[in-house]
Amino acid sequence: MPFVSIGGVTLHHRYIEATGTSRPIIFINSLGTDFRIWDDIVARLAGEMPMLVYDKRGHGLSDIGGGVRSIDDHVDDLSALIDHFGFGKVMLCGLSVGGMVAQGLYARRPEVVEALILSDTAHKIGTAASWNTRIATIERDGIEAIADGVLKVWFTPDFHANRAADLAGCRNMLIRQALPGYIGTCTAVRDADFTDSARGIAVPTLCIVGDQDGSTPPDLVRALADLIPGARFEVIRGAGHILCIEQPDALVALIRDFVASLPEGKQLHG
């Protein structure tokens, strides 16, 4: 079964094996989603590298455990998953809050991180006021009250006009998230600031953003890339915030190119 209990939290995951490669990659989903957002990416990369996708604490089919109070709670789970699978080193690909979790894991355990792919994320996202407003609205009226506004920044107008079924499915995924997990992660993002630690990232890093991302706009993601020594910055055209759904071919092309640019290493996965 694709479940593992670590530290009192049961995490839903999927591990996709591959031969002839030394680089496992872990994909970390965004706020209000589950690991199915990576389906098109995993399908395209199958066989090229080992891949692990999982539902963050309080999202999808994973437990809330003792709750989410800070990014450290999500970092705890990611760190435990790495140890559970016996990975020596990993690449991390995090979207939005997933990118903050990746930064947090690097800050805590830099020795296990070979490279970072930070998608539509930043060192600091939003303001305390904006997050407190969102939290208050959800506590009063539920996630559905903000769903249409969230979808506008997740996807481009073209996606809204031409992919109605996919849009409806993504809306269902969002509004069916458990309130404690969603609200707790909002609080975690509100309080997270990786401005200082980003300057200390010393592994190859690729920062990617959709050109129409209304949540973490290109200028914000570029600011993150500018903090990280030697980071590469790329913009994907025709994409909003969830570009792994909207432009999977473009994202996969960047991942392949980035992985190919990394120095060859010894076998690192267990």
For tokens 């098109």, the residue is: 40
Q: Are 236 and 254 a contacting pair, CB within 8 Å?
A: yes
AA identity, residue 184: G
Give 23's pLDDT tier (boundaries 50, 70, 90).
confident
Model-level pTM? 0.95
What is the average pLDDT value for the chain, to the nearest integer? 94
Domains and CATH numbers, the chain: 3-261 (3.40.50.1820)
Phi, psi of 265, rounded to the nearest 5 degrees: -125, 170
Strand order of the sheet with strand 3-6? 3-6, 9-16, 51-54, 25-28, 90-95, 113-119, 205-210, 232-236
Which of these, 262, 251, 253, 256, lies nearest to 204 by C-alpha position?
Answer: 262
**pLDDT tens digits for 126-169?**
999 999 999 999 999 999 999 999 999 999 999 999 999 999 99
Q: What is the mean pLDDT of residues 86-104?
A: 97
